[in-house]
Amino acid sequence: MRLPYILVVSLIFLVSAMVSLLAASYAVTKIEETSEFAVRRALDLKGHDWAEVESDGLRVVLTGLAPDEATRFNALTSAGTEVDTSRVIDEMEVTATSALAPPRFSAEILRNDSGISIIGLIPASEDREALIDRLRNLDRSVPVSDLMETADYPKPEGWDDAVSYAIDALSRLPRAKISASSGLVKITAISDSQQEKEQLEQDLTRAAPPSLRIGLSISAPRPVITPFTLRYLIGEAGGQFDACSAQDEKARDRIVAAAQDSGLSGPYSCTIGLGVPSPRWSEAAELGIRALAEIGQGSITISDADISLIAAQGTPSALFDRVVGELETALPEVFALHAVLPEPETEEQTGPIEFSATRSPEGLVQLRGRLGDETLRDMVDSYARAAFGSEQVYTATRIVPDLPADWAVRVLAGLEALNQLNNGALTVTPDSVELIGLSHDEGAKARIAGQLSDKLGEAQDFTLSITYQPPPAPADALPDPELCETQIADIQAVSKIAFEPGSATIAADSRNTVNQIADILRECGPIRMEIQGHTDSQGREEMNQQLSQSRAQSILNELRGRRIPTASYTAVGYGETQPIGDNDSEEGREENRRIEFRLIRPEPVANEETGLEALEADVTGTEQTENDASESGAEDQ
Residue 342 clears pLDDT 80, i.e. is over it: yes
Q: Which of 192-201, 330-339, 421-430, 623-632 has the lowest mean pLDDT?
A: 623-632
pLDDT at 258: 95
Rounded distance between C-alpha atoms, residue 614 and residue 511, angstroms: 55
Residue 46 clears pLDDT 70, i.e. is over it: yes
Taking a C-beta distance cutoff of 8 angstroms, is the pair 379, 448 a contact? no
Confirm whether pTM is higher than 0.85: no
Taking a C-beta distance cutoff of 8 angstroms, is the pair 288, 259 a contact? no
Confidence of residue 99 (pLDDT cuts 50, 70, 90): low
pLDDT at 346: 53
In percent, the amount of the chain with pLDDT more than 70 equals 88
In percent, the amount of the chain with pLDDT more than 90 equals 53
> Which domains does the chain show, CATH number per domain?
21-94 (3.30.1340.30), 106-219 (3.40.1520.20), 229-330 (3.40.1520), 355-468 (3.40.1520.20), 481-604 (3.30.1330.60)
Per-residue model confidence as pLDDT tens digits over 47-67: 888 888 888 777 888 898 888
Q: Rounded mean pLDDT of 317-332?
A: 90
Residue 636 clears pLDDT 60, i.e. is over it: no
Q: Rounded mean pLDDT of 77-88?
A: 84
Q: What are phi and psi of 630, to 5 degrees?
A: -65, -45
Residue 634 clears pLDDT 70, i.e. is over it: no
Confidence of residue 351 (pLDDT cuts 50, 70, 90): low
Per-residue model confidence as pLDDT tens digits over 509-560: 999 999 999 999 999 988 999 999 999 999 899 999 999 999 999 999 999 9
pLDDT at 28: 56
Confidence of residue 177 (pLDDT cuts 50, 70, 90): very high
Confidence of residue 621 (pLDDT cuts 50, 70, 90): very low
pLDDT at 442: 85
Residue 178 clears pLDDT 90, i.e. is over it: yes
Q: Which of 159, 55, 176, 57 is nearest to 109 (CA)?
A: 176
The count of C-alpha atoms lying within 13 angstroms of the C-alpha of 335, restricted to the half-sphere facing its C-beta, is 30
Q: 110 - beta bridge partners?
A: 117, 177
Per-residue model confidence as pLDDT tens digits over 459-484: 678 899 999 888 876 666 778 899 99
pLDDT at 27: 56
Residue 45 clears pLDDT 80, i.e. is over it: yes
Rounded distance between C-alpha atoms, residue 483 and residue 147, angstroms: 43
Residue 371 clears pLDDT 70, i.e. is over it: yes
- Bigger pLDDT: 556 or 619? 556
Q: Which of 197-201, 237-241, 286-290, 470-474 has the lowest mean pLDDT?
A: 470-474
DSSP characters for 442-488?
Answer: TTHHHHHHHHHHHHH-TT-EEEEEEEE-PPPPPTTPPPPHHHHHHHH
Q: Which of 39-43, 55-59, 402-406, 467-471 has the lowest mean pLDDT?
A: 55-59
Per-residue model confidence as pLDDT tens digits over 223-277: 888 889 999 999 988 999 999 999 999 999 999 999 999 999 878 889 899 899 9
pLDDT at 31: 65
Q: Rounded mean pLDDT of 602-607?
A: 72
pLDDT at 616: 43
Rounded distance between C-alpha atoms, residue 178 and residue 611, angstroms: 11
Q: Which of 123-132, 208-217, 589-598, 628-637 has the lowest mean pLDDT?
A: 628-637
Q: What is the mean pLDDT of the chain?
A: 86
